[in-house]
Structure 1
C-alpha cells in the first residue's frame, strides 16, 4: 500500500509518502520536487505495521495534508544512475594521492547527498560487483596472489571494480587482460585488494544520519528490493592442479605462477 500526501499553505509545499510492505513501512518526506528524506520502521506483525501507518496518515491529514493528485510528479526520482556511479568512482581517483584519501573523499561526497542517492550508489555497486563473481576470475586471482580465500577474492573484485568500467568489464571477459593494470602494484610490492570500497555507502549513511549498519541494511533492502544474496559458484578448476591452471591462464601463470603478488 502506498499513500502520497501533500501540504501547501502558501508558505510550505511539502509531500509525505508512506509505503507499507509486510511488517515494515517506509516514509519519504520533504519539499515537493526533491527526492526527500527516508525513514524505515519495522514491527512485530503486519497488523501492527498497518495500524501504525493508518495512525500516521490520520495525523498528517489532521495537520492539513491532502491526497496528492496521481498525475502530478510530486517527488523527484534519485538522479543516481549506473552512469553516475561509474563517474563518481572515476572522479574519486582524482581526489587524493592514494586509495585511502580517494575513498575518504567519496564517503564525504556521498554523505552530503540525499539518503536515497547513497542507497542507489550502493545498489549499482552491488549489481556491477556481482558480475565479477565468476570461476575464471577467481582462478586468475588465485594465480596472481598465490591463493585466494573467499574474503581475498571479494577484496580483489572490489579493487578491480575501482579500476573503472571499461577495465572491469574487459577483465571479467578475459582475466589475462588484467596484467597491464598490475604493473603499478608490482613496482610498489602491493596486492590487488580494496576491502574499504565495500563499505563506502554504509559509512556515508552513518556519517549523514548517525545511524548504524543494521539500520542502513534494512533501508537498503526496503528501497531497492535487493537482498544482496550471492549464490555459490562451482569452480571449474582445482587449486592443486598446477598443470590445469597453467593451461587455463598461461600468460598469468608465466608472470605470477612462481612469483605471486603478496
Structure 2
C-alpha cells in the first residue's frame, strides 16, 4: 500500500461520526496482505511525525508529555487527515487554527494504531502472524533541547502558547 492509498482510507473515514468503525469495516474487506501494508504505512507515517517540534507542541497543548502521550498524540494527528497532518509537520503552530481548547482532552487517540490488528484477527488470522509481518521503522533520532521558560516557548510557538498554555496544570503535573 502506498502512502496516498493509506491517506485515502484515513481521509475518506475522517469525516464520519464513528471514524474507527468506518476504518475497521473497510480494513476487514481487504486481504490480510493489504491489512499488513496499511499497518506498515501507519507506522511509517507515525515515524515521520517523531519530531521534537511536535513533541514541544504536544507538551504545550497537553501540559504534559511522555512516550505514551506522544505516541497517542501522533496517532491522533494522523486521524485528523493528511492535510492537517502535513501542515502540522511543516509547522506545529497550524494545530492552533483548528484544535479547539475544549477538544484538548480528546487528543489521546491511539485506537487507530490497533485497527489493522483487529481487522487481521477478524479475517481469521492469528496475532503472531500479524506481528511477524509488520515492519517497524526506526524513529528518527531527536535532538532534544527544551525551552527553559514559558517565554522561550512563546517565542517559538506564539499561537500554541497563547491558546493552550495552562500553567496551573503544568504545575500540578510536574
Normalising by the residue count of structure 1, what TM-score does the alignment of the two structures yield? 0.59
Deviation at 1:258, TM superposition (A): 2.9
Gaps of 5+ in 2: 170-174
Flag the structure with larger Rg.
1
**How far is 1:188 from its partner?**
4.8
Specify the alignment match of 1:76 in structure 2. none
RCO greater where, 1 or 2, for CA within 8 Å and sep 6 or more? 2
1:120 aligns with 2:41: no
Would you say the 8 A contact 1:145–1:191 is kept in 2? no
Q: Does 1:195 align with 2:116?
A: no
Q: Which residue of 1 aligns with 2:72?
A: 155
1:141 corresponds in structure 2 to 58
**More strand by percentage:** 1
Whole-angstrom distance in 2 between the partners of 1:139 and 1:187:
20
- 1:247 equivalent to 2:155? Answer yes
> Aligned runs of 1:1-262 on 2, under 5 Å?
80-95=1-16, 97=17, 101-183=18-100, 186-188=101-103, 190-212=105-127, 214-220=128-134, 226-238=135-147, 241-258=149-166
Question: Cα deviations across residues 176-213 of structure 1 (Å, max 9, x unaligned)?
Answer: 01112212xx345633221101111111111112412x
Contact 1:126 1:228 in 2 (8 A): yes
Cα RMSD (Å) of the superposition? 2.1
Unaligned 5+ runs, structure 1: 1-79, 221-225
Q: TM-score, normalised by structure 2?
A: 0.86
When you count helix as a share of all residues, which structure comes out higher?
Answer: 2
